[in-house]
Chains A and B, each alone.
Chain A
Amino acid sequence: MNRIWAIIENTFKESLRQKILLLLVIFSILLIVVSIFLEPFALGEAPRILRDFGLAVSALFGVLVVIIIGSTLIHKDIEKRTIYTVITKPVRRSEIIIGKFLGLLLLIIILVCAMAVIQQLVIFFYESSFDFSLLIAIPFLILEIMILLGILLLFSSFSSPALSAIMGILFFIIGHASPDLKLFADQVKIPAMKYLAYGFYYILPNLENFNLRIDLVHKLPLYPDQILFSVCYGLIYTIFLVYLAIIIFQRREFK
């Protein structure tokens, strides 16, 4: 456990000290705060915009951090050869992957929670009351980020940061278009296309499972079985991706 904790701590500190992170944090906080000034243009929709905009910015922030930092997570260690002194210690390669995953995840969780606090403060400033129901979105956003981080870690364990980042973005787009993919599969007449579309639908992650923005902003009811399914889906998919990353990393050589 000490060994994994050492890697978590190092990954956390290393990611925290990246200048791009500071820029993203400042930019995101500014965006959330600026939503107050949208009121004159909101045509009575200001409360909805405050909520929707704040959640969207938090989600965008988390996704950008995971793609920018996650894509270089393993590769940078190999490129800079810092991995040599880690991998030759009595540490399992699986511990390195798990430590890296948890280190960056921990940082993103803290930052996303900080964004949620800022959003609550903005709502309080505008409405003189908090809206804690929005906080339900945070664990689901974190589940989505876990899947994306798993994808980036997987690609980062054998390919370049650029390819990892591109794959991260692609999976993010396709993951959110998953319901459309299902609709296409249901309606298309050509059997080959139908099976292909169903194949992609079932294999690629369905990130819409974690998008509760519309439900929360419009105060729609949330169903326990739907929540339970999303949580299990997110956890199982992430474990599968991290496991694949470990298998690939275990075979990797450091020339």
Chain B
Amino acid sequence: MDVAIELKNICRSFKNHFWQNKKQVLKDVSLKIYKGEIFGFLGPNGAGKTTTIKIITGLIRPDSGSIKIFGHPANALEVKKRIGFLPESPYFYEHLTGYEFLKISALLSNQKDYKSGILGLLEKVGLKHAVRLQLRKYSRGMLQRIGIAQALVAEPELLILDEPLTGLDPIGRKEIKDIILEQKAKGNTVFFSSHILPDAEAVCDRIGIIIDGQIIKVGELNKLLKKGLKTDEISLEDWFVKQIKRNE
């Protein structure tokens, strides 16, 4: 299978203040995400999910290890053209309307004929009524939706979503899950982190679990769940809690 993202032995440490010791946030993380799959990146708070995603998107650099996206370095412009990214708890330019924000996103993504595409996207994420509303008047769920829309604006081959389902009501979650499945149907790859395990369970082909900066499990969801309890399948939530307790 073709590889979309390949992380090899990634290590990264931070220190909050110059007088503090460095804390290792990622410890030898290696991971392969294949083209066309939906990959769920799961882990408790502070496990290193967002740091991993920031390294994949080129927002930060690893201390050691290598990262390739479609065979190229993460920061390459050719790579960025093929990626759509939604950050965790996204903040956008508050003074812009939904339409203006997507227009800027489209221009930054080299899209020239953006008008109809933007209106279609706004409809897809359920924000057609808020086209001319400034983002500062958007609710938390609406911001999450516009965030998804800006990630999709260039019709990316790889969608990277950091906690995309947070802050959404059940209808919003269903709509985002449908978008994720639609991307897979188009042959695109989706890499997302989530705390909402039943939702991850509903859409993922494979999952990876990170705890305390280390990948402890990667595999196809069905196989992992069957391994978790030999007699019958258990829910992802039960299995996840079991894995965490085992690593404590």
By a beta-carbon cutoff of 8 Å, the part of chain A in contact with chain B is: 2-3, 5-7, 9-10, 13-14, 17, 80-82, 84-92, 253-255
Contact = CB atoms under 8 A, between A and B. Distances in A.
A90 B92 contact: no
A3 B107 contact: yes
A240 B54 CA distance: 31
A87 B105 CA distance: 11
Contacts of A3: 107-108, 110
27 contacts: A2-B107, A2-B112, A3-B107, A5-B107, A6-B104, A9-B104, A10-B93, A13-B96, A13-B100, A17-B95, A80-B91, A81-B90, A82-B91, A84-B87, A85-B85, A85-B105, A85-B147, A87-B59, A89-B80, A90-B77, A90-B81, A90-B154, A91-B80, A254-B60, A255-B14, A255-B54, A255-B60
A91 B108 contact: yes
Interface of B: 14, 54, 57-61, 77, 80-81, 83, 85, 87, 90-93, 95-96, 100, 103-105, 107-110, 112, 147, 150, 154
Nearest to B82: A90
- The winner among B81, B90, B107 for most chain A CB atoms within 10 A is B107
Contacts of A86: 108
B104 A10 contact: yes
Contacts of A5: 107
Nearest to A77: B93
Nearest to A17: B95
B151 to A, nearest CB: 8
Contacts of B14: 255
7 nearest A-B residue pairs (beta carbon): A6-B107, A89-B108, A90-B80, A84-B87, A254-B59, A90-B81, A88-B85
Contact of B93 (A82, A88, A89, A91): A82
Contact of A81 (B58, B87, B150): B87
Contact of B85 (A10, A82, A84): A84
B57 to A, nearest CB: 5
Nearest to A18: B95
A88 B79 CA distance: 10
A87 B74 CA distance: 12
Nearest to A91: B108
A89 B82 CA distance: 9
Contact of B109 (A13, A90, A92): A90
Nearest to A5: B107
Nearest to A88: B85
A86 B109 CA distance: 9
A84 B90 contact: yes
Nearest to A11: B93
Contacts of B58: 87-88
A84 B93 CA distance: 11
Nearest to A96: B108
A89 B92 contact: no
A204 B14 CA distance: 36
Nearest to A251: B61
Contact of A85 (B90, B103, B154): B90
Nearest to A80: B91
A251 to B, nearest CB: 9
Contact of B83 (A6, A7, A88, A253): A88
Given A10-B104, A253-B60, A85 B109 contact: no
